[in-house]
Chains A and B, each alone.
Chain A
Amino acid sequence: QKEVEQNSGPLSVPEGAIASLNCTYSDRGSQSFFWYRQYSGKSPELIMSIYSNGDKEDGRFTAQLNKASQYVSLLIRDSQPSDSATYLCAVNSGTYKYIFGTGTRLKVLA
């Protein structure tokens, strides 16, 4: 059974700080990795995708992938109260579906 694991949180950070969200996956053959943000009662909103080892930056967001350790993370710099949401890690193992983690709830304290 392919699994994606995330700490459910909540992760609380002060406004302006860096939030670090982590995700591990079980299928070593996984090829593509995605971070989504989900506000309560809303649909997942794509933040970033990452396909190869290393870092990928987009504005305040940096995704990091380490396939050897089966680990993907998301850093949010200069966290804002509007970043408070649940962050979902999704993994595609080369099939026609994503496997989602349970999500990490982030609270940014003003």
Chain B
Amino acid sequence: EPEVTQTPSHQVTQMGQEVILRCVPISNHLYFYWYRQILGQKVEFLVSFYNNEISEKSEIFDDQFSVERPDGSNFTLKIRSTKLEDSAMYFCASSFNRENEQYFGPGTRLTVT
């Protein structure tokens, strides 16, 4: 069964450093998403991406964040200068269309020290 994959599973970085989180969405899906979940809190939407551009972003997704689909399979989230409060689980998801179910990857645990 096709699944969303994410790498790395755990990333530790120092405050102020740049990180790139990687995702491979399900191959025939057209919509891609990033969510995050701070420990003990709800899953929060960050950004959605369709047709090689951002279709929607949340207030959390400020200028420190960017997304890219560098090739036909990968989808990345970059945080330019990490802050302590960026520590969270980051989930990538994909769906075939906007109304359909979103399937989540296993997540990347980001720890900023």
Interface residues of A (CB under 8 A from B): 31-32, 34, 36, 42-46, 49, 51, 88, 90, 92, 94-103
Q: Indicate the size class of the contact surface on chain B.
A: 20 to 34
Whether the pair B56, A101 counts as a contact (CB closer than 8 A) is no
B21 CB, nearest partner CB in chain A, Å: 13
A94 neighbours in B (Cβ, 8 Å): 98
Q: Do A99 and B45 form a contact, CB below 8 Å, given A32-B99, A43-B91, A44-B91?
A: yes
B-side residues, CB < 8 A to A, are 31, 33, 35, 41-45, 48, 50, 55-56, 58, 89, 91, 98-107
Q: CA A49 – CA B100 in complex, angstroms?
A: 9
- CB pair A31–B99 under 8 Å, yes or no, is yes
For the complex, what is the distance from the CA of A95 to the CA of B33, rounded to whole Å? 12
